[in-house]
Amino acid sequence: MIDIFNMENKLDLTNITCHSGGATGADFFFFETIGENYGVKTKAYSYKTKYHTTENKVEISDTDYEEGVKEITKANRVLSRYGIHKFMNLLARNWSQVKYSDEVFAIGTIVEPGKKGSKGFYNKSEFQVVDGGTGYAVQMAINNGKFVYVFDQDKDKWFRWSYTSLKFIEVTKPLKISYENFAGIGTREIKPNGIKAIEDIYKLTFN
């Protein structure tokens, strides 16, 4: 993975797709309420269930689900969290968001090595990770060499994953969408600064 930050690409602004999970919180704000104002298309991935009813719903294939299970298992070698099998449908779905995207924008909280996240899990690895279920999508993206950006709501700053230093580095210039296929994901407990961070990305990209 070449460690290049926010590359300048020629974007077709009429053909941008947000790959999401359609969950309440950051997922919802990334596309349902903000992205659609800019004409951004959405694919809200779901496992087979009657409870996911968004008009942008895309049911994942059996192949993508099976890949997702493998990718989640690999991600958990870093995250080392227990009980993941109870949530495997949701977690494996996240793989499709990552797989079909070139870059990932996530809203959440970065947890330092040895520290405890808000969900009760300790970061037992030697690397920084992202709290909650969002951490799995972020870790899968890192494992697969994607461009990864995380807005830490507690620090009120954007960070990017550096494949050179193997840690999150503060972003010092405004972020924008650089690829026509991106993932917009994050915590259900989104705060006003998290919503503003998403709005700012769209404004800079389209204005």
pLDDT tens by residue, the chain, 207 residues: 556 555 566 789 999 999 987 665 555 666 667 888 999 999 988 876 655 556 778 889 999 999 999 999 999 999 999 888 888 988 898 999 999 999 999 999 999 999 999 888 899 999 999 999 899 999 999 999 999 999 999 999 999 999 999 999 999 999 999 999 999 998 888 899 999 999 999 999 998
Write down the pLDDT at residue 54: 67
Write down the pLDDT at residue 10: 78
Could you tell me the sign of the dihedral formed by the alpha carbons of 45, 31, 167, 147, in that order? Answer: positive
- In a domain, residue 194? The reply is yes
Write down the pLDDT at residue 161: 98
Tokens of 169: 């580095």
Sheet strands (E) in the chain: 17-20, 41-46, 57-59, 103-108, 110-111, 129-130, 147-152, 157-162, 167-170, 181-186
- In a domain, residue 1? The reply is no
Domain of residue 150 covers 17-206
- In a domain, residue 54? The reply is yes
- In a domain, residue 96? The reply is yes
Residues 6 or more apart whose CB falls under 8 angstroms from that of 64 comprise 95, 96, 99
Q: Which conformational region is residue 58 in: left (phi greater than 0), alpha (psi within -120 to 50 degrees), or beta?
A: beta
Number of domains in the chain: 1
